[in-house]
Every structure is written in C-alpha cells, then in structure tokens.
Amino acid sequence: MKIVILTGAGVSAESGLGTFRDKDGLWAQYDLSEVATPEGFARNPVKVHDFYNARRANAAEAEPNAAHFALARLAREHVGDVVLITQNVDDLHERAGQDAMHMHGALSRAKCADCGAKWAAVLKMSARDPCPTCSRPATRPDIVWFGEMPEYMDEIEVHLTTADLFVAIGTSGQVYPAAGFVVEAARAGAATLEINLEPSDVAGLFDDQRIGPASETVPRWVDEVLSGASSKQ
Ligand code: APR
C-alpha cells in the first residue's frame, strides 16, 4: 500500500515553531505581503531577511516531536512506499530521519534572485551576500513566496495519482495547490485521512479524520498502520 503524506505547520507546532493561521500565528504578527512575496522582497530585502533569519534561528533551536519521529518510523518499517510532501520550511522531518519534498522551499537553503543558483543557507543571511555562482549580491531565502510556483509539482502529481492512501497532517487547507491534493488523490481512487487539532477548511473532502495534537494522533495512527489494525490499510 502506497501512502502519500502532506504535512503543514501543525506537525511542527508542538516543537515550538509557530503556525500561520492559529490565533497567535505568524500571519497575525507579520504582514505576509511584506515578508512572503517577491514584491515585499524587492521593496525591503532587509525586512524579509530579518523575518527568515528569525525563523531559521527558531528552527535550529527546535527539536523534532513524536509526530516527526513516528512518520520517519512509518517510512522505515512500512512494507509499501511512503512519500512525504511538506509545506513546512523547517528541517524537523529530516532531523527525525525522513526525507521530505519541500514544496514551499526550505530555510536551510539560499537562492540567487538573479541567476537562480541554490546553496546551503548560513544562519544569518543578507541580500548583500554574493551568489557563489554569479557573484552578484542577490541572495534570497529559498522559500516559495505567494505568487510563486511551488516546487516538485510534477513529481507530486504522479504520487497523488498512484497513492492508495493520502494523509494530510496539521494543515488548515487554506492554501492551494496543497489544499486541493485530497481531491486529486481521491479522484484517482485513494482513501483519504485528515489528522489535525481541529477540522480543516477541507475536512469534508476526507473519508476519515483523527482529531487531536499531532504528537499523540500521529504515533497512534502509525502504530495502527504498522500493526495492520488501521481501517486505512
Ligand atoms: N497538532 C495537529 N495540528 C495542529 C496542531 C497540533 N498540535 N496545532 C495546530 N494544528 C493545525 C491547525 O488546526 C491548522 O489546521 O495546523 C494547521 C495550521 O494551519 P496553518 O497555520 O494555515 O499552516 P499550514 O496549513 O501549514 O499553511 C499552509 O500557508 O502561509 C502559507 O506557506 C505557508 O506553508 C504555509 C501554508
């Protein structure tokens, strides 16, 4: 059985990293048009780098939680394929021992706004940092901003249409294309499961739902799948 998993900020919430749309979330503290759009970066690159430097420092201090470790265990022990797509830009899945397709980019990478080259980010990044490829001072975070194309979309399409089970964990279902993945997977015949602290905006599109904090609900679900007890086999 091929399992395709999509995670959002809720899987890292109990590691102390903020979500975006919970009541005291990042978009309640910052104007996303200023820190998460190409126009915002063009207007004020220092403000944008300050925002991501702070998030990079938070992520470096955070630890993976039981949900990250349970998903890594599923990938190791499940007989079929386990594919992880994440909207998160932190590296907690990797630090729990699991590769993830970062469709919204990664705090751990830098990108040249001029030539597009990518490289490992330093903790405190600045637009003045020269690009190692073209030497121009055009360094930006390798984050997919609003209005930019998410990454890995071709690969993701293939996985959604060949999944036996699609599971969305800790995402509010408010940002497309990720919020529509459940429709594509279901159309191709996958069973669908949502795991969240509360029903997402697209909860009604899922066959099944587990409600509760990810650090409890995800390990319990993984135990069931690995023991063959889960109804979503
Ligand atoms: N356990 C499980 N789910 C949780 C927990 C928790 N402990 N805490 C919060 N959640 C859930 C919330 O109920 C909500 O559904 O996590 C979700 C967080 O939603 P958002 O803050 O909207 O985060 P996300 O869905 O990842 O946002 C998607 O929007 O701003 C863009 O690029 C950004 O990747 C992000 C995208």
Q: Could you give the C-alpha distances from 31 to 51, 138, 177, in angstroms and in order?
A: 11, 23, 21
Residue for token pair 């998160």:
88
Nearest protein CA to atom 25 of ligand 1, as residue: 171
* pLDDT at residue 18, rounded to an integer: 87
**How far is the centre of ligand 1, averaged over its atoms, from the C-alpha of 214 (Å)?**
11
* pLDDT at residue 233, rounded to an integer: 45
Report CA 165 to chain centroid distance, whole Å. 18
Annotation says 104 is catalytic? yes
Do you find a cis peptide bond into 137, omega within 30 degrees of 0? no
**How far is the centre of ligand 1, averaged over its atoms, from the C-alpha of 195 (Å)?**
11
pLDDT at 199 over 80: yes
Mean pLDDT of 103-127: 96
**How far is the centre of ligand 1, averaged over its atoms, from the C-alpha of 172 (Å)?**
5
In the chain, alpha helices (H): 26-29, 32-35, 38-43, 45-61, 66-77, 92-95, 153-161, 181-187, 214-227
65, 171, 194, 206: which to mutate for ligand 1, most atoms within 8 A of CB?
Answer: 171
* pLDDT at residue 229, rounded to an integer: 75
**What residues does each domain of the chain span?**
1-17+64-104+150-233, 18-61+110-143
- Mean pLDDT estimate for the chain: 96
pLDDT at 192 over 80: yes
18 Cβ closer than 6 Å to some ligand 1 atom:
no
In tens, the pLDDT along 171-181 reads 999 999 999 99
Mean pLDDT of 199-210: 97
172 Cβ closer than 6 Å to some ligand 1 atom:
yes
Q: How confident is the model at residue 231 (pLDDT cuts 50, 70, 90)?
A: low
User: What's the topology of domain 18-61+110-143?
Assistant: SIR2/SIRT2 'Small Domain' (3.30.1600)
Catalytic residue among 49, 68, 93, 104: 104
199 Cβ closer than 6 Å to some ligand 1 atom:
no
Of 25, 17, 3, 9, the C-alpha closest to 173 is 9
**What's domain 1-17+64-104+150-233's architecture?**
3-Layer(aba) Sandwich (3.40)
The ligand 1 atom at the shortest distance from the C-alpha of residue 25 is: 21
Mean pLDDT of 129-152: 97
pLDDT at 24 over 60: yes
pLDDT at 4 over 60: yes
Q: How confident is the model at residue 54 (pLDDT cuts 50, 70, 90)?
A: very high
Tokens of 204: 């009604």
105 Cβ closer than 6 Å to some ligand 1 atom:
no
20, 31, 90: which to mutate for ligand 1, most atoms within 8 A of CB?
Answer: 20
Mean pLDDT of 65-91: 98
Nearest protein CA to atom 36 of ligand 1, as residue: 175
